[in-house]
Chains A and B, each alone.
Chain A
Amino acid sequence: MKITFEIIEHVADLARLNLTESEKQKLTSEMANIIGYVDKLNQLDTTNVPPTSHVKPISNIFREDVVKESFDREKILSNAPSRDNGCFKVPKVVE
């Protein structure tokens, strides 16, 4: 797959990154290099090979639905970049 400047811009938008023009240029060639290398996987025939997303065959690990102690609000807010009245503060979302 050819990595173009436009693909890089699209992926950066998906990844929520603002890239400078020079970053985009650099990433276009670096990603082309890396993708060119990982294309090596196509040498392998994987027809009918099931994918392994996880080495342990586990799914849906549940616990009992019991009330447990939760974090103190002040403690959780102590790392907030911006806060107000016991809440995380963000820029206006709805006009």
Chain B
Amino acid sequence: MELYELTAHELSDLLREKKVGAVEITRSLLDRIEKVDAKVGSYITVCRDRAIEKAREVEGKIYRGEANSPLAGIPMAIKDNMCTEGVLTTCASRMLSNFIPPYDSTVVKKLNAEDVILLGKTNMDEFAMGSSTENSYFKRTKNPWDLERVPGGSSGGSAAAVAACEAVFALGSDTGGSIRQPASFCGVVGLKPTYGAVSRFGLVAFASSLDQIGPLAKDVTDCALAMNAIAGYDPLDSTSADMNYPDYTRSLVNDIKGIKIGIPKEYIGEGIHGEVKKAVLEAVETLRRLGAECEEFSLPITEYAIPAYYLISSAEASSNLARYDGIKYGYRAEKFTDLLDLYKQTRSEGFGAEVKRRIMLGTYALSSGYYDAYYKKALQVRTLIKQGFDQAFSKYDLVVGPTAPTTAFKIGEKADNPLEMYLEDIYTVSVNIAGLPGLVIPCGMDGNNLPIGLQLIGKAFDESTLLRVAYTFEQNTDFHKNRPRI
């Protein structure tokens, strides 16, 4: 085994026993990036010198017994929509192609306090809008399992980096499935925490009532370690939950006897690919064998989640992205006639096609005369979706289903049809609309040797049950050990 192949908890044990140093681990990861990233394209920015310098510093701290975090000395990556002081943060957009934040996002600050090593910033769909990472201004990220396929999106760079062992773990963000769908496509563990559990301060806003930061990791244990580092109340985010956060590693228990699980019929009905359905139902069987009580139930509101999601998220995006005007930071057009034209020209040149499409949809949904018919209607449907889950959770501890209707699709396959791409998010958007936590773990491979991900949906702030069930599943199966050969 090479160092870059190990999990964070395995590396942490080696570091603690002083069998290996943080610099050696960091070099192993950087060399791996050098070797495979030309093919995979996970990163927009690699911070080679900075990472080694930080590793030296942390190595000293570990040696002196001053670094006690299990993540100390672990090299990881961050999606390029989270601000990193002094390190380019582009959101994969021309608009921010030159933006060097003067501050750290709260998650980055928290990870620094744990002495992690930042390897670099990962590729994504521009402003996190997309499900394939094809909407990046800079490059396309390839799926490490098949370089002709997409890694999913929008956190495709983070998922590919973890799957290709170019980062031990990574952070992504999830507005409608952007952590979970790429985790499923790349065969890694991905967690979208409950809305409010992880601070959004310093996360470039897409849809503020839906966005949430979370980890992508090689296994459930690493996922829990990352959550311990990033979850918590932050006064700088007014939607942050002020409560006691648990030690998530306490959920790493191999026992799910008596846990009640509901499987929405609508998630395994029309539209799902046969092999995905088979793997998900087999995973449910495994959970039943391990002691969970599983039954199907109906969540009829499911088919309305996508239209509601695209209206709400685009409306919020059109408002959030109004700030990009070419004045204080970011791109500015060279040719313009007056101030208004400077705004318009800057925005027209700075945003890509998908971002413009969503701004247009959102502006339309919020505009005078259409507000009630679209935006308000979507918010009412949001209430119904939330009620659907409330009802489910009065009966079940957990809702389980697929993550996406298919496995990773070919690059370009859906690029010309925005609506078809939107339908990719059918099983994930409801979770954001209702503000719930969702965790994805590998549960099988299809005939093309592509990973399939099982999605677990929990009650608000009950990440502990998600982690416990995922951990039990993982301990009793081998899917998480599959790695792509590159």
Contacts and interface: CB of A to CB of B under 8 A. Distances in A.
B380 A51 contact: yes
A2 interface: no
B209 A54 contact: yes
A67 interface: no
Contact of B383 (A17, A33, A50): A50
Consensus secondary structure, chain B interface = helix
Top 3 nearest A-B pairs by Cβ distance?
A55-B435, A51-B379, A79-B329
Contact of B364 (A7, A33, A63, A71): A7
Contacts of A78: 100, 102
A38 B359 contact: no
22 contacts: A14-B363, A16-B325, A16-B340, A16-B343, A17-B347, A17-B356, A17-B360, A33-B418, A38-B374, A41-B377, A41-B381, A46-B380, A52-B383, A53-B379, A55-B209, A55-B433, A63-B235, A78-B102, A79-B99, A82-B332, A90-B339, A90-B342
B380 A49 contact: yes
B9 interface: no
Interface string A23-51: 10001001101110111111110100111
A16 B363 CA distance: 10
A92 B345 CA distance: 16
Interface in A49-95: 49-56, 58, 61, 63, 71-72, 75-76, 78-82, 88, 90-93
A39 B364 CA distance: 14
Contacts, number: 155
Contacts of B330: 79, 81
B386 interface: yes
B307 A81 contact: no
B18 interface: no
A41 B305 CA distance: 9
Nearest to A81: B332
Contacts of B99: 79
Given A31-B360, A41-B307, A52-B383, A18 B418 contact: no
Contact of A51 (B103, B328, B376, B434): B376
Nearest to A61: B238
A69 B378 CA distance: 41
Given A1-B370, A17-B356, A79 B98 contact: yes
